[in-house]
Chains A and B, each alone.
Chain A
Amino acid sequence: MTSPSLEACSLTKRFGAFRALDHLDLKLVGAKCVGFLGPNGAGKTTMLKLLTDMIFPTEGECYLNGISVQRERKQALADVGVLIESPEIYPSLTPRQALEMVADLRGIPPQEAKVRIPEVLAEVRMEDWADKRVGKFSKGMKQRINIATALVHDPEVIVLDEPATGLDPRGMAEVRGIVRGLRKRNRLIFMSSHILQEVTDVCDEVALIDKGKLLFYDTLASVTSRFGDGHTTLDARLARPADPDLTVKRAGALSGVRSCVVMEPTRLRLNFEGPPAERERLLRDLIGLEIGLVSLAASEDALEEIYLRQISRGDL
């Protein structure tokens, strides 16, 4: 069996005079979760629509599992699960009927579908709603059914367009849980998102796009070290509120610490320069300051900082 793959070759899309994608090249191979980041209007959804033949490229071509989407749509999409633009399922259908329809149209034998549909409904936690009409569902419930329809054939490649957008915090957490589950099953997941926390949380790699051009594509670890200017942003959690002057002054004076800022009364942000091994020493030093340190970890906002820096560079 070959590795799942997704490829965009010199992909260009113009809407009139507006160039939504500009000779974008991207190749993803193997089982992993890739976050596709970019500001509004960067070309994320355009890229995903081109990948799934919803729109047509002005130039270039896309391949899914090595098959041209533009030339062989049916074959290219056969082993791909797609969720783009939060589609509406026909309101008169129940989730079970919608999934039966998708399974049938995808050529899954009825006996196999009978087993698979309850599984996928359980995966998105909609088994209790399997026989209620979709038309009466909330946005979050519809989105979970949409995810189920993308997964019913257990695809090798999964393309998700901001799957958690518009959901409440619980719904967002559930969607993240679903994506994490998929990642464990060795699938290639290509997921656009506005939510950097989501990308940090579930993705192995990240691709950043702005103004139709790919700014970078790499593993999360490489991106944070490559674009972090050699610094690591660390968050120190304290058991008690920090003294804004004294604590900042003492922590800021520690070896390798380039700056220290109080983010919240019980959270300090340290800009640290040094190899990972040096962090052990930093941890010991911070404990020695007796400021009530309870944890020291890489900042969850590191990707956001890189993202904003890269985007603003593009604006110049």
Chain B
Amino acid sequence: MKYQLREYLLSRRFVILLLLVAAIGVLITAIVAHFRGAYVSDNLSFYQSLWGGGAGFVAVLSAVFFGGDAIAGEFQNRTGYFLMGLPLRRATVYVGKYLAALVASCTVLMLFLGILVANGALYFGAGALPGQLAPSLALAGAYLVSVLAMTFLLSSLFKNGAYSFVLTAILFLAGFSLLQDFMQGLAQLQPWELISYASQTIGEVFQPRVNWGLYGVGVKAADVGGGGGVALHTGNVVAWTPGIAEGAVIMMAYWALTLFVGLALFKQEEFS
């Protein structure tokens, strides 16, 4: 793991990602400074909108950057032939690369959090960190490990890094959201199968009346943008909000399943 981590930390893509996240941070700082009223009414809505909205995006970006070609690249760049001659279990190689990508991604996520906390301290004082930030961080962590595990699985399916990189980016940056919109808006189904749905919990934790349960709540069409009335499993539900426990379970299920399948695929992969 330490060698792969060093490879990541010395890579150009790590520097680019840090710069990208720093740029996003600067942009957020500028927007918050300009539209102060909309974001700084209280620290809960500040973290809900900025951390809740941004952490998932940064996690996906990191996973795509570090995991997109993590396995496929070993075939494409022929570095796998170097590793496979060593007396290492395939699982060790896979898990080591996964952990290295996780640490590198956490570094990026922490940079993003640092920028937001600095902004929060400016507007609400240094001690105004909401208690909900801790569970939100845990949920962001759960989202990151599961997104990364799924990215590794997709990377194990290809022997060309570009394919896995592009597929992962499309899937996480657009695919899941589109599918969620389709399921909720057109099929009027609760999208509990989708990780994008579960990731909403990162921001939901900051809601004053947070649902910590295992079941999400649906919002009627008539209530969207209205008063937040809820209706469970009714015909005209168009949006769903996951329960915190529900979101955590979905993310952990994604993590366990995709890590297991990805590892099984890699164990069967031939360096032919």
Bitwise interface map of B from 72 to 116 toward A, beta carbon under 8 Å scored 1, else 0 = 000001111110111111100000000000000000000000000
Measured between beta carbons, the chain A residues less than 8 angstroms from B268 are 56
Measured between beta carbons, the chain B residues less than 8 angstroms from A146 are 82
CA distance A101 to B90 in the complex (A): 17
Partner of A89, one of B10, B79, B84, B87: B79
Within the complex, the shortest CB–CB distance from A157 to chain B, in Å, comes to 12
Whether the pair B270, A54 counts as a contact (CB closer than 8 A) is yes
Q: How many residues of B contact A (CB 8 A)?
A: 21
Within the complex, the shortest CB–CB distance from B54 to chain A, in Å, comes to 30
Measured between beta carbons, the chain A residues less than 8 angstroms from B10 are 92
Measured between beta carbons, the chain A residues less than 8 angstroms from B85 are 52, 54, 77, 81-84, 87, 149-150
Measured between beta carbons, the chain A residues less than 8 angstroms from B77 are 88
Within the complex, the shortest CB–CB distance from B69 to chain A, in Å, comes to 13
B7 close to A (CB within 8 Å): yes
Partner of A84, one of B11, B79, B81, B88: B81
Measured between beta carbons, the chain B residues less than 8 angstroms from A85 are 78, 81, 271
CA distance A43 to B255 in the complex (A): 40
A89 with B82: in contact, given A74-B88, A77-B87 (CB under 8 Å)? yes
CA distance A100 to B271 in the complex (A): 24
Measured between beta carbons, the chain A residues less than 8 angstroms from B78 are 85-88
Measured between beta carbons, the chain A residues less than 8 angstroms from B88 are 74, 105
Bitwise interface map of A from 72 to 96 toward B, beta carbon under 8 Å scored 1, else 0 = 0111111011111111111011000
Measured between beta carbons, the chain B residues less than 8 angstroms from A105 are 3, 86-88
Measured between beta carbons, the chain B residues less than 8 angstroms from A93 are 7
CA distance A92 to B15 in the complex (A): 14
Whether the pair B81, A87 counts as a contact (CB closer than 8 A) is yes
Bitwise interface map of A from 140 to 155 toward B, beta carbon under 8 Å scored 1, else 0 = 0000001001100000
A286 close to B (CB within 8 Å): no
CA distance A84 to B87 in the complex (A): 15
Bitwise interface map of B from 37 to 78 toward A, beta carbon under 8 Å scored 1, else 0 = 000000000000000000000000000000000000000011
Within the complex, the shortest CB–CB distance from A134 to chain B, in Å, comes to 10
**B residues in contact (CB < 8 Å) with A:** 3, 7, 10-11, 77-82, 84-90, 268, 270-272
Give the top 4 A-B pairs by smallest Cβ distance, nearest first.
A82-B85, A87-B81, A87-B82, A54-B271
**A residues in contact (CB < 8 Å) with B:** 15, 49, 52-56, 73-78, 80-90, 92-93, 101-102, 104-106, 146, 149-150
